[in-house]
């Protein structure tokens, strides 16, 4: 899926990503890149969320399998690798450590320089795989663990403007979806069943100030209470109304920071950046919008390799 032409086989960055429930390895060079991801999300769905110890054991089993598959598929070996990048933070400690030890061992054995990469910054720059970077930009990272907005002046000047004080947006999608017994992660299912004509319930009644920090736990409680009190409620109506509300909050915040920082350059990243309504609503604004391809919105090692590459040119 990620293959490109003009393969130069000797200048790849190899990247390892294990911050949550996906074991992902990737190679990147400007002319060719590829990624192999083995996810334990299906297994985790039996528990309604990620169990760190289980995810960590899956990384232990799957890292070498994923690497062997990646090398075999691309007919390469360590002679073709220049540097090794890995997710160093943030993430589930037992999971991050598994990737770190793997990367450090490979680096030691094969005498390759090692590059620690911040997972959130990698989400933030994932749009750059298929878009030109134009500084400064306002960037949203919306995932299962984070909801943050940044003002980015350069790859080394990343200013945090806003972040959630409680639940992350993806976490709220997962918790609300779980009330209707949707399988974890619930974001894609809610996105899929969204119906704009069924967005009839108004969940937020207090005014949200533009400059306030993100806070989603109030909305989450309102939606969950509504479901508890209305046992015969229409799932599509509740979830469409929820999605419209939460996406509006995010889009309004981006509009606010775009005005404040006087830039129309907007980028998004993270699992929730795959959301169709978010993409549509941002597209409707007068933004210079850069979207990552959907398959690299969620956790993946390709974004880690890409940021390692961008940081060193």
292 binds, among Zn ion, ligand KG4, none (CB under 5 to 8 A by kind): none
Using alpha carbons, select from 15, 11, 17, 39 the residue that is nearest to residue 27: 15
Closest to Zn ion by CB, 170 or 177: 170
**Residue 120 Cβ vs ligand KG4, minimum distance, rounded to whole Å:** 8
186 binds, among ligand KG4, Zn ion, none (CB under 5 to 8 A by kind): ligand KG4
Closest to Zn ion by CB, 264 or 279: 279
Q: Which of 251-267 are b and which e, b meaning 16 or more Cβ less than 10 Å from the residue's Cβ?
A: bebbbbbbeeeebebbb
Closest to Zn ion by CB, 82 or 97: 97
Closest to ligand KG4 by CB, 106 or 141: 141
99 binds, among Zn ion, ligand KG4, none (CB under 5 to 8 A by kind): none
Closest to ligand KG4 by CB, 201 or 296: 296
Handedness of CA 255, 268, 88, 116 (dihedral sign): negative
296 binds, among ligand KG4, Zn ion, none (CB under 5 to 8 A by kind): none
173 binds, among Zn ion, ligand KG4, none (CB under 5 to 8 A by kind): ligand KG4
For residue 181, give Cα distances in angstroms to 43, 144, 189, 224: 15, 18, 11, 13
Residue 12 CA to residue 10 CA, distance in Å, equals 6
Closest to ligand KG4 by CB, 34 or 191: 191
**Residue 244 Cβ vs ligand KG4, minimum distance, rounded to whole Å:** 13
Using alpha carbons, select from 55, 82, 219 the residue that is nearest to residue 147: 219
**Residue 190 Cβ vs Zn ion, minimum distance, rounded to whole Å:** 18
Q: Which of 118-154 are b and which e, b meaning 16 or more Cβ less than 10 Å from the residue's Cβ?
A: bbbbbbbbbbbbeeeeeeebbbbbbbbbbbbbbbbee
**Residue 231 Cβ vs ligand KG4, minimum distance, rounded to whole Å:** 24
**Residue 299 Cβ vs ligand KG4, minimum distance, rounded to whole Å:** 4
**Residue 289 Cβ vs Zn ion, minimum distance, rounded to whole Å:** 20
Q: Could you tell me how many residues make up the chain?
A: 313
185 binds, among Zn ion, ligand KG4, none (CB under 5 to 8 A by kind): ligand KG4
**Residue 35 Cβ vs ligand KG4, minimum distance, rounded to whole Å:** 13
- Which residues would be at the binding site for Zn ion (CB under 5 A)? 143, 299
Residue 196 CA to residue 219 CA, distance in Å, equals 19
- Which residues would be at the binding site for ligand KG4 (CB under 6 A)? 20, 143-145, 170-171, 173-174, 185-188, 191, 270-272, 274-275, 298-299
Closest to Zn ion by CB, 258 or 300: 300
**Residue 77 Cβ vs ligand KG4, minimum distance, rounded to whole Å:** 30
- Residue 179, both tokens: 């009330």
Paired strand residues for 152: 137, 158
- Residue 74, both tokens: 């691309």
Contact (Cβ atoms closer than 8 angstroms) between residue 99 and residue 66:
no
- Residue 93, both tokens: 């400690």
188 binds, among ligand KG4, Zn ion, none (CB under 5 to 8 A by kind): ligand KG4
Closest to ligand KG4 by CB, 17 or 107: 17
Handedness of CA 279, 139, 173, 183 (dihedral sign): positive
Give SS3 for 2.
coil
Residue 175 CA to residue 171 CA, distance in Å, equals 6
């Amino acid at each position: 899926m990620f293959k490109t032409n003009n393969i130069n086989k000797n200048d790849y960055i190899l990247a390892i990503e294990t911050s949550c429930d996906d074991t992902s390895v990737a190679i990147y060079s400007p002319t060719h890149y590829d990624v192999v991801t083995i996810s334990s999300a299906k297994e985790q769905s039996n528990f309604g969320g990620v169990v760190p110890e289980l995810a960590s054991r899956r990384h232990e089993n799957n890292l070498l399998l994923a690497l062997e598959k990646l090398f075999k598929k691309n007919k390469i070996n360590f002679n073709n690798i220049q540097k090794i990048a890995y997710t160093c933070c943030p993430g589930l400690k037992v999971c991050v450590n598994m990737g770190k030890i793997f990367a450090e061992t490979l680096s030691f054995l094969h005498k390759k320089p090692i590059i620690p990469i911040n997972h959130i910054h990698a989400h933030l720059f994932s749009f750059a795989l298929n878009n030109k970077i134009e500084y400064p930009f306002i960037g949203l990272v919306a995932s299962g663990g984070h909801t943050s907005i940044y003002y980015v002046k350069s790859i080394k000047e990343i200013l945090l403007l806003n972040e959630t004080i409680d639940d992350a947006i993806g976490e709220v999608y997962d918790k609300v979806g779980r009330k209707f017994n949707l399988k974890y992660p619930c974001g894609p299912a809610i996105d899929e069943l969204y119906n704009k004509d069924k967005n009839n319930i108004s969940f937020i009644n207090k005014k949200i100030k533009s400059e306030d920090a993100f806070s989603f736990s109030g909305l989450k409680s309102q939606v969950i209470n509504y479901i508890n009190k209305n046992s015969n409620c229409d799932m599509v109506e509740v979830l469409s109304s929820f999605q419209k509300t939460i996406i509006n909050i995010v889009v309004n915040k981006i509009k606010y920071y775009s005005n404040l920082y006087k830039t129309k350059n907007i980028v998004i990243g993270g699992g929730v950046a795959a959301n169709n309504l978010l993409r549509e609503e941002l597209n409707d604004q007068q933004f210079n919008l850069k979207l990552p391809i959907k398959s690299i919105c969620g956790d993946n090692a390709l974004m880690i390799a890409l940021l390692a590459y961008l940081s060193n040119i």
